[in-house]
Homo-oligomer: A and B are copies of this chain.
Amino acid sequence: MKLGAFLMAPGHHPASWRHPSAAADLGANFKEYVKLAKAAESAKFDLLFLDDTVAVKDTSKDVGARLSRSAFFEPFTLLSGLAAVTERIGLVGTVSTTFNEPYNLARKFASLDLISSGRAGWNVVTSNNEEEAANFSSQKHLAHEKRYERAEEFMDVVLGLWHSFEDDAFLYDKSSGIYFQHDKMHVLDHSGQHYSVRGPLNVARSPQGHTVVVQAGASEPGRELAARTAEIVFAAQNSMEEARAFYSDMKGRVAKYGRTEDDMLILPGVLPIPGRTRAEAEDKFAELQQLIDLKVAISQLSHMIGNFDLSAFPPDGPLPEIPEANGNKSRQQLLVGMARRENLSIAELARRTAGGRGHWLVVGTASDIADQMEERFKGGAADGFNVLPATLPGGLEDFISMVVPELQRRGLFRTDYEGATLREHLGLKRPIAPWRQ
Contacts and interface: CB of A to CB of B under 8 A. Distances in A.
A73 interface: yes
Contacts of A313: none
Most buried by B among A28, A115, A202, A204: A202
B65 A182 contact: yes
A33 to B, nearest CB: 9
Interface size class on chain A is 35 or more
A81 interface: yes
A21 B240 CA distance: 60
A293 B174 CA distance: 12
A203 interface: yes
Given A135-B199, A137-B195, A74 B108 contact: yes
A78 B198 contact: no
A38 B391 CA distance: 35
B174 A20 contact: yes
A111 B73 contact: yes
A197 interface: yes
Interface string A148-180: 000000000000000011000010101101111
A91 B135 CA distance: 26
Nearest to A199: B135
Nearest to A74: B111
Interface string A171-201: 0101101111110010100000011111111
A193 to B, nearest CB: 11
A76 interface: yes
B78 A185 contact: no
Counted per complex, copies of this chain come to 2
A264 interface: no
A70 B135 contact: no
Nearest to A18: B174
B179 A72 contact: no
Nearest to A19: B174
A85 interface: yes
A408 B364 CA distance: 64
A356 to B, nearest CB: 20
A76 B177 CA distance: 30
Nearest to A86: B84
Interface string A77-119: 1111111110000000000000111011001101110110100
Contacts of A308: none
B202 A72 contact: yes
A103 B136 contact: yes
A437 interface: no
Contact of A200 (B56, B67, B177, B296): B56
Interface string A203-238: 110000000000000000000000000000000000
Contacts of A54: 103-104, 107, 202
Given A54-B202, A80-B80, A196 B139 contact: yes
A55 interface: yes
Give 7 nearest A-B pairs by CB, closest first: A80-B80, A74-B111, A24-B172, A84-B84, A134-B198, A61-B182, A81-B84
Given A74-B111, A136-B197, 20 more contacts: A24-B179, A25-B170, A53-B202, A59-B185, A64-B182, A67-B179, A70-B202, A71-B165, A71-B203, A73-B114, A77-B77, A77-B112, A77-B115, A78-B111, A80-B80, A81-B83, A101-B136, A135-B198, A135-B199, A139-B196
26 contacts: A17-B174, A18-B175, A24-B179, A28-B204, A30-B84, A30-B117, A53-B202, A56-B164, A68-B179, A70-B202, A73-B111, A73-B115, A74-B108, A74-B111, A76-B77, A77-B108, A81-B84, A81-B115, A84-B84, A99-B101, A101-B137, A134-B197, A134-B198, A138-B196, A139-B196, A177-B296
